[in-house]
Amino acid sequence: MNRRLLPLAIAFAVLTGAAPRAPGPVLTIGRLHYEGGGDWYANPSSLPNLLAAIRDRTALRVAVEEQVVTLAEDELWNVPYIYMTGHGNVRWSDRDLTTLRRYLLQGGFLHADDNYGMDASIRRELGRIFPDLPLVEVPLDHPVYHLVYDFPKGIPKIHEHDGKPAQGFGLILDGRLAVYYSYQTDLGDGWEDFEVHRDPPEKREAALRMGVNLFTYAVGFGG
């Protein structure tokens, strides 16, 4: 699959909804079913709600539901954006790492969303993808914070656990943000149905806006 799904000349119009709905394949988000014991299935209403926001707020053609994928399936190559979350341990086999490395090198995008408890293991596993590539804090002037919605202070804090500030980290591959790690924010909690976490409306809106930015960056500027 060609990861450059949108020519950059029309990307701005598509991402801001200033153009008719874009032709081409129906896009979706791949929820990563990983090994290690963590609850990869956490926040079940989050991705359908994010996809609905993307569909309503941009001209991108997106599916109603996410697609569950593993790093051993051919379907992996049909999703431009892989999302993973959970509260526990993540463990990738050497074969998983080889597949994920290929996916990212070919323009794929991985978003790891710490759901309070995944931090130690996901940092370890991210460090195994490209051992020579450091996990760095994404600078505030990066397009992922300004592409559709403006976040001058970076990733928003959505769900409070212990008062630590929200941070966004990334693996920058040949100048492209290939992996985004959202830490101490719980974007997925903000995407969930209101009655699940009862986060304030302004927090849920900020979470959806950040999700729209992440997805449009992945499909418009990957490859």
Residue 100, pLDDT > 80, answer: yes
| pTM attached to this predicted model | 0.90
Proportion of the chain above pLDDT 90, given as a percent? 76
What residues contact 102, with CB distance under 8 A and at least 6 apart?
Answer: none
Q: State the pLDDT at residue 14.
A: 52
Proportion of the chain above pLDDT 70, given as a percent? 88
Q: State the pLDDT at residue 7.
A: 40
Residue 3, pLDDT > 90, answer: no
Task: Let me know if 117 is exposed, middle or buried by CB neighbors in 10 A (0-12, 13-18, 19+).
Answer: middle
Chain mean pLDDT for the chain: 89
- As assigned by CATH, the class of the 8-221 domain is alpha beta
DSSP bridge partners of 101: none
Residue 138, pLDDT > 80, answer: yes
Query: For the segment 185-197, what is each residue's pLDDT rounded down to a tens digit?
Result: 999 999 999 887 7
Q: DSSP letter string over the chain?
A: --S--S-HHHHHHHHHT-SSPPPSPPB-EEEE--BSS--TT-STTHHHHHHHHHHHHSS--B-SS-EEE-TT-GGGGG-SEEEEEESS--B--HHHHHHHHHHHHTT-EEEEEE-SS-HHHHHHHHHHHSTTS--EEPPTTSGGGTSSS--TT-SPP-S-SSSPPPEEEEEEETTEEEEEEEESS-HHHHHS-HHHH---HHHHHHHHHHHHHHHHHHHHH--
Q: State the pLDDT at residue 196.
A: 78
Task: Let me know if 152 is exposed, middle or buried by CB neighbors in 10 A (0-12, 13-18, 19+).
Answer: exposed
Residue 5, pLDDT > 60, answer: no
Query: For the segment 26-71, what is each residue's pLDDT rounded down to a tens digit?
Result: 999 999 999 999 999 999 999 999 999 999 999 999 999 999 999 9
Query: For the segment 167-183, what is each residue's pLDDT rounded down to a tens digit?
Result: 999 999 999 999 999 99
pLDDT confidence bin for 20, thresholds 50/70/90: low
Residue 9, pLDDT > 90, answer: no
Return the domain boundaries, the chain.
Answer: 8-221
Residue 1, pLDDT > 60, answer: no
**Comparing C-alpha atoms, which of 136, 137, 143, 159 is closest to residue 206?**
159
